[in-house]
């Protein structure tokens, strides 16, 4: 989240990607850095350690939504 | 005294305590209710105005007033308060990276090490028998005050502001003094440029302590090297972040007996630290067997647990015997040991000091 806020403050399009377990922390951190609206995309939890095949599937499913956020089609 | 915090009303202290638990303002244990008078008692012992900002923790500003409220809740007396202020100043140093520590899944937290005359004047802060355990009011209250600041000012609640997967008991409180009198080495804070007559806190973000047993023998000419090897082994254990990811600071608490053996062998503090950095490594072949993130090289390298001497904080404490301790590191290099001076001037009488 902090990286996303740093990029956003630098004027670079950015999306913070978090897993479900970290949604509350993400909101808290975004608030703490003074950018409560930093765009974020939520992945299932856990992702790490779930194997290449699953990670590829998660990435395939998430990519269109992340691109939509980056291009401003969704919020 | 002009305090800005919101006043809450309750018919009695028992009800007030339930309110504190209900609002999630405690660490799970009962707290001392921070009445205006009690907070005023702590503030009377320092020269700072209540609205002075010591630092920022996440979304919260750690003002002197807010820190005093949490210190009262933790059970601090007025003489403890300058150490709490110094500890908050240290953790809000960007080098410490407290926001990262608050949100990591690793169960780490700050350890407060106290050096100089404040060990007595602002305590007594224990450095001897059981210094890391229960039974020492100043140690327990000062460490707990910092934790309550991290929770109540910094918003570190389990599962959202604080994402530690398990946490560890040292996150309730962890503060000790260095046994400067029992140590053969100069006090820790003098390595950072303080005079030995000054007082300072050193804060290190680490995992739980790991006991290190070593029965020394005066007839053993290699005793010093054996101590170093067993301590280094405790730094480079398989499950430690430092072994698997590397680059976090660690604390080595040497028992006075172990420290004495090392000093008798002619080793200085710097010599001990350098040798431990050298010894705290894991063969890459072993790492490959553990399939960790660092096990992608196939050479015969030994992977170091520490970047260098700056990542090993070595102090002397504990009752004399055969047990030292190692606090493992974490956060893969984003946190560094920090220090801050303890400013106290109790020339005026401290409020409400009970007769012995």
Which string of DSSP letters, residue by residue, matches B270-294? HHHHHHHHHH-EEEHHHHHHHT-TT
Cβ of A29 and B159 within 8 Å? Answer: no
Point out the residue among A2, A21, A28 whose CB comes nearest to the CB of B161: A28
Q: Which residues of B touch A29 (CB under 8 A)?
A: 58, 99, 103
**What are the residues of chain B with a beta carbon less than 8 Å away from any beta carbon of chain A?**
58-59, 99, 103, 155, 159-161, 163
Report the chain B residue with the minimal C-alpha distance to residue A33: B59
| Helix B269-279 × helix B223-235 angle, to 10° | 60
pLDDT at residue A43 in the model: 94
pLDDT of A7 reads: 87
User: What's the predicted TM-score (pTM) here?
Assistant: 0.92
List chain B pLDDT tens, one digit each, 356 residues: 789 999 999 999 999 999 999 999 999 999 999 999 999 999 998 999 999 999 999 889 999 999 999 999 999 999 999 999 999 999 999 999 998 899 899 999 999 999 999 999 999 999 999 999 999 999 999 999 999 999 999 999 999 889 999 999 999 999 999 999 999 999 999 999 999 999 999 999 999 999 999 998 888 999 999 999 999 999 998 888 888 887 789 999 999 999 999 999 999 999 999 999 999 998 887 877 776 666 556 566 788 899 899 999 999 999 988 999 999 987 766 899 999 999 998 766 676 666 55
Q: CA–CA separation, A21 vs B147, rounded Å?
A: 23
Q: Could you give the residue ranges of the DSSP H alpha helices within A1-75?
A: 2-9, 23-32, 52-70
CB contact under 8 Å between A25 and B103, yes or no, is yes
Q: Looking at beta carbons, which residues of chain A come within 8 Å of B161?
A: 25, 28
Q: Specify the 3-state DSSP secondary structure of B241.
A: helix
> Exposed/middle/buried for B307, CB within 10 Å: 0-12, 13-18, 19+?
middle
**Yes or no, beta carbons of B99 and A31 under 8 Å apart:** no
**B161 conformational bin, left if phi > 0, alpha if psi -120 to 50, beta if neither:** alpha
CB contact under 8 A, B103 and A21: no
* Nearest chain B residue (CA) to A27: B160
Residues in A closer than 8 angstroms to B97, CB to CB, are: none
What pLDDT is attached to residue B353?
A: 61
User: Which residues, 6 or more positions from B353, have their beta carbon under 8 angstroms from its beta carbon?
Assistant: none
Q: Is the dihedral of CA B57, B144, B50, B15 positive or negative?
A: positive
What is the nearest CA distance from A14 to chain B, expressed in angstroms? 20
Residues in chain A with CB shorter than 8 Å from the CB of B99 are: 2, 29, 32
Q: Supply the ipTM of this predicted assembly.
A: 0.77
Find the DSSP H helices in B45-117: 64-74, 81-91, 98-103
Closest listed residue to residue B84, CA positions, set B217, B197, B173: B173
Q: Please tell me the distance in Å from A28's CA to the nearest CA on chain B.
A: 7
Assign B124 to helix, strand or coil: coil
A20 in contact with chain B, both atoms CB, cutoff 8 A: no
Retrieve residue B40's tokens. Answer: 């005023």
In 10 A of CB B305, how many CB atoms?
Answer: 28
Residue B153 to residues B1, B86, B94, B133, B203, Cα–Cα distance (Å)? 21, 16, 17, 26, 18
Quote the tokens at residue B141. Answer: 């209250």
Rounded Cα gap, residues A13 and B83, in angstroms: 43
Residues of chain A with pLDDT under 70: none
A14 near B CB under 8 A: no
Chain A interface, best mutation among B24, B59, B244, by max A CB count within 10 A: B59
Torsion-angle region of B68 (φ positive above 0: left; ψ -120 to 50: alpha; else: beta) = alpha
Closest CA relative to residue B319, chosen from B124, B54, B126: B126
Q: Check CB contact under 8 Å for B99 and A21.
A: no
Q: Does A22 touch chain B (CB under 8 A)?
A: yes
């Amino acid at each position: 989240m902090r990286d996303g806020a740093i990029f956003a403050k630098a004027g670079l399009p950015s999306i913070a990607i978090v897993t479900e377990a970290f949604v509350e922390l993400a909101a808290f951190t975004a608030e703490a850095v003074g950018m409560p609206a930093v765009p974020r995309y939520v992945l299932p939890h856990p992702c790490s350690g779930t194997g290449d095949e699953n990670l590829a599937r998660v990435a395939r499913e998430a990519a269109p939504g992340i691109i939509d956020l980056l291009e401003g089609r969704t919020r | 005294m002009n305090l800005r915090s919101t006043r809450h009303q309750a018919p009695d202290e028992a009800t007030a305590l339930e309110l504190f638990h209900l609002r999630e303002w405690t660490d799970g244990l009962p707290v001392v209710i921070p009445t205006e008078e009690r907070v005023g008692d702590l503030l009377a012992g320092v020269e700072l105005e209540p609205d002075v900002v010591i630092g920022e923790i996440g979304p919260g500003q750690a003002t002197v007033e807010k820190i005093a409220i949490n210190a009262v809740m933790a059970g601090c007396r007025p003489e403890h308060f300058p150490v709490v202020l110094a500890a908050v100043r240290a953790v809000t140093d960007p080098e410490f990276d407290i926001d990262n520590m608050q949100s990591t899944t690793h169960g780490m937290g700050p350890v407060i090490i106290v050096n100089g005359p404040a060990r007595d004047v602002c305590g007594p802060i224990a450095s001897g028998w059981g210094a890391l355990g229960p039974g020492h009011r100043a140690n327990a209250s000062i460490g707990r005050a910092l934790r309550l600041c991290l929770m109540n000012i910094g918003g570190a609640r389990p599962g959202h502001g604080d994402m530690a997967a398990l946490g560890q008991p040292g996150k309730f409180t962890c503060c000790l003094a260095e046994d400067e009198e029992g140590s053969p080495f100069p006090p820790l804070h003098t390595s950072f440029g303080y005079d030995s007559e000054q007082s300072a806190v050193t804060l290190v973000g680490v995992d739980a302590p790991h006991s290190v047993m070593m029965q020394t023998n005066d007839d053993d000419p290699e005793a010093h090297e054996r101590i170093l090897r067993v301590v280094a082994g405790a730094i480079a254990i398989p499950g430690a972040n430092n072994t698997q990811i590397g680059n976090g600071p660690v604390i080595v608490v040497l028992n006075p007996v172990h420290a004495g053996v090392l000093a008798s062998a002619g080793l200085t503090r710097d010599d001990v630290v350098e040798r431990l950095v050298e010894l705290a490594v894991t063969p890459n072949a072993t790492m490959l067997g553990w399939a960790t993130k660092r096990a992608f090289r196939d050479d015969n390298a030994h992977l170091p647990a520490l970047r260098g001497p700056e990542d090993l904080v070595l102090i002397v404490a504990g009752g004399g015997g055969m047990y030292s301790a190692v606090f493992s590191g974490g956060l893969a290099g984003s946190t560094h040991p920090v220090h801050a001076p303890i400013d106290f001037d109790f020339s005026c009488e401290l409020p409400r000091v009970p007769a012995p």
